[in-house]
């Protein structure tokens, strides 16, 4: 089921740039709705999408490459403003009969450009002014297509920006979407507001209003089931649906026994207690522990947990009676990863938050957050009145503490990890770091070390503390937590968690390590 609730849309055609998502982020920050689609989106689909403007992204190719990505030629005849960025500009030039010079050397990094025309794209930047921009290109424009004028030039690129103002075709050789181009947001804003005539009306309040309305209409009298984990995405999904269909929504919280201390209780309190949702807690701790008995291989653990989760969820859903839809908290980056650049026909990674459930249960999917980035989801959460604690929660893996207990999972080892993890969370929060780092947690290692407590020799467990800084979990660096905070964490764990006599801090980045230890 697709929910389409926006009137002013910008279309971003993706030619494979590592910055394409950033373009979308910037457009959204300017409060205009946009979507990323593959470069080969059909003309008919583009027309159906009915954009107020089109942005052609950069890309790693040269237009002279054998397999260079080309968008539909008819694009150029549309009565819609177009902005080409880097490869997008070169593609535009090529398509309109200009000449792109093949160059072996890349121009890379901060470059000064001189603004020659500040009427449209560079409005407010000052004619004759030098501005810093970020360049990363090989080829450049040798001859502009007919009707175009240069808007700015740099030492190596006489045509650093160009336009056919009458036909509203613009191109920039640099990347306005990256932070290294300080005036980038202004330039993108000029394109959106001055050239495309958009309004800054994409707010999370408008998203909530429109989404609730269309969910209500589309779902009608049917019932919806939603798996609730207490994570940001599933929580916001559930509250949004609850606002739309109230009692026709049933949520299931599976306690797999691998949650953090008090987690299930806290989730119940918020959603059942505060929102009055129809929320069913299934305590399956024993069940999961039994199936994980003696299992030490990380992938086996994941498989077992995934399989049993589906089994339990399905059982409970059947018990609750007939539902037509299953709600999931899929986010936009997952959707882009699935369809962008290579196009919808390429083999894609499937992103099922609750792996495979719809197939098994014959349910249709509802994914009300599939157009949103994570920070937008958090804004929606705030808009819906979710507690800040929940909205700002760090990510927590589906398999839970199972992938943070190296080796065998037992009730006793879970208790040790829970106690240590609660201390890490507590200290990180007290130091004001919880919302600054991406994730911070404890890991229980499968080794014992010798220690001394009082006059006694001890031979006990080691806890590793992991904290990373990251933007998207694809890459991460270990957080530079102040020594005093690490010291307090270590003291508290060793003094109060029975069975632990040593704490170490993980100083590995991703890659080559990963964030989780398993
Ligand atoms: P890694 O360890 O691969 O983690 O660097 C990247 C991000 O994904 C989370 N993670 C998982 N989430 N199921 C999940 O739902 C999993 O099996 C899983 N493994 C890792 C991890 O916490 C981090 O945010």
291/139: higher pLDDT: 291
What was the pLDDT predicted at 321? 87
The answer on 261 and 121 residing in a single domain is: no
Give, for ligand 1, the residue of 298, 473, 477, 506 to mutate: max count of ligand atoms closer than 8 Å to Cβ.
Answer: 473
Which of ligand 1's atoms lies nearest the C-alpha of 470?
Answer: 24
The answer on 481 and 380 residing in a single domain is: no
The answer on 425 and 372 residing in a single domain is: no
Distance (angstroms) between ligand 1 centre and the Cα of 165 equals 47
Q: Which of 361, 371, 439 is nearest to 404 (CA)?
A: 439
Q: Which of 195, 214, 242 is a domain's end point?
A: 195
Token output for 495: 């003094």
Q: What is the mean pLDDT of residues 336-350?
A: 51
- Give the chain's domain count: 3
Q: Which of 169, 195, 221 is a domain's end point?
A: 195
**Which CATH number goes with the domain that contains 469?**
3.30.300.10
Residue 397 lies in a domain: no
Asked whether the predicted pLDDT for residue 3 surpasses 60, the reply is no
The answer on 174 and 45 residing in a single domain is: yes
- The label of the residue with tokens 């009730």 reads 411
The answer on 350 and 453 residing in a single domain is: no
**DSSP category for residue 246:** G
Q: What percent of the chain has pLDDT over 90?
A: 84
Tell me if 306 CB under 6 Å of ligand 1. no
- Beta carbons of 89 and 171 less than 8 angstroms apart: yes
What was the pLDDT predicted at 343? 52
Residue 419 lies in a domain: yes
Distance (angstroms) between ligand 1 centre and the Cα of 403 equals 9
Residue 403 lies in a domain: no
The answer on 173 and 264 residing in a single domain is: no
Residue 371 lies in a domain: yes
The answer on 344 and 261 residing in a single domain is: yes
Report CA dihedral (125, 130, 136, 140) to the nearest 10 degrees: 90
Q: Other C-beta atoms within 10 Å of 350: how many? A: 9
Environment class of 27 (CB within 10 Å of its CB; exposed 0-12, middle 13-18, buried 19+): buried
Catalytic annotation, residues = 86, 175, 177
Residue 246 lies in a domain: yes
Q: Which of 391, 421, 442 is a domain's end point?
A: 391
Q: pLDDT tens-digit profile of 357-409?
A: 777 778 899 999 998 999 899 999 999 999 998 999 999 999 999 999 999 99
The answer on 461 and 387 residing in a single domain is: no
The answer on 209 and 186 residing in a single domain is: no
What is the span of the domain harbouring residue 466? 410-505
Tell me if 515 CB under 6 Å of ligand 1. yes
**Which CATH number goes with the domain that contains 37?**
3.40.50.880
The answer on 376 and 265 residing in a single domain is: yes
The answer on 327 and 186 residing in a single domain is: no
Residue 517 lies in a domain: no
Residue 512 lies in a domain: no
- Residue length of the chain: 518
The answer on 218 and 165 residing in a single domain is: no
Q: What is the mean pLDDT of residues 340-348?
A: 46
pLDDT bracket for residue 344 (50, 70, 90): very low
Annotated binding site: 229-235
d(CA 499, CA 16): 51
- Beta carbons of 284 and 254 less than 8 angstroms apart: yes
């Amino acid at each position: 089921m697709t929910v389409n609730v926006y009137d002013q849309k910008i279309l971003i055609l993706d030619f494979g740039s590592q910055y394409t998502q950033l373009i979308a982020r910037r457009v959204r920050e300017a409060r205009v709705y946009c979507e990323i689609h593959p470069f080969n989106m059909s003309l008919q689909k583009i027309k159906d999408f009915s954009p107020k403007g089109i942005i052609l992204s950069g890309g790693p190719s040269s237009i002279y490459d054998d397999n260079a990505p080309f968008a539909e030629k008819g694009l150029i005849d549309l009565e819609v403003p177009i902005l080409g960025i880097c490869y997008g500009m070169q593609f535009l030039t090529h398509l309109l009969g200009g000449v792109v010079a093949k160059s072996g050397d890349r121009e890379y990094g901060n470059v000064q450009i001189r603004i020659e025309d500040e009427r449209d794209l560079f409005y407010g930047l000052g004619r004759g002014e030098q501005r810093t921009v970020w360049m990363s290109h090989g080829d450049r424009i040798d001859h502009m297509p007919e009707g175009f004028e240069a808007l700015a030039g740099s030492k190596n690129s006489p045509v650093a920006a160009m336009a056919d103002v009458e036909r509203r075709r613009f191109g920039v050789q640099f990347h306005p979407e990256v932070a290294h181009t300080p005036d980038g947001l202004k330039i993108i804003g000029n394109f959106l507001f001055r050239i495309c005539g958009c309004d800054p009306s994409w707010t999370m309040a408008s998203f909530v209003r429109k989404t609730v309305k269309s969910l209500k209409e589309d779902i009608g009298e049917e019932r919806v089931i939603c798996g609730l984990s207490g994570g940001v995405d599933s929580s916001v999904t559930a509250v949004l649906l609850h606002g739309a269909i109230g009692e026709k929504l049933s949520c299931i919280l599976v306690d797999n026994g691998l949650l953090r201390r008090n987690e299930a209780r806290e989730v119940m309190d918020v959603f059942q207690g505060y929102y009055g949702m129809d929320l069913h807690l299934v305590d399956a701790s024993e069940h999961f522990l039994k199936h994980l008995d003696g299992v030490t291989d990380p992938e086996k653990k994941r498989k077992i947990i995934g399989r049993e989760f589906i089994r339990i969820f399905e059982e409970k859903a059947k018990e609750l009676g007939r539902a037509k839809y299953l709600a999931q908290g899929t986010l936009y980056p997952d959707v882009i990863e699935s369809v962008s650049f290579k196009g919808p026909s390429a083999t894609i990674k499937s992103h099922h938050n609750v792996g495979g459930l719809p197939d098994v249960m014959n349910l249709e999917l509802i994914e009300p957050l599939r157009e949103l980035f994570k920070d937008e989801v958090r804004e929606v959460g705030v808009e819906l009145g979710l507690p800040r604690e929940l909205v700002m929660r760090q990510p927590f893996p589906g398999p839970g503490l199972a992938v943070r207990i190296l080796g065998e999972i037992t009730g006793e080892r879970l208790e040790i990890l829970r106690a240590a993890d609660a201390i890490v969370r507590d200290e990180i929060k007290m130091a004001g770091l919880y919302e600054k780092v991406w994730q911070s947690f404890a890991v229980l290692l499968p080794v014992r070390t010798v220690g001394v407590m009082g006059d006694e020799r001890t031979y006990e467990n080691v806890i590793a503390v992991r904290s990373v800084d990251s933007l998207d979990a694809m890459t991460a660096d270990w957080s530079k937590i102040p020594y005093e905070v690490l010291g307090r964490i270590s003291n508290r764990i060793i003094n109060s968690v029975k069975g632990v006599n040593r704490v170490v801090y993980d100083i590995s980045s991703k890659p080559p390590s990963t964030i989780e230890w398993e």
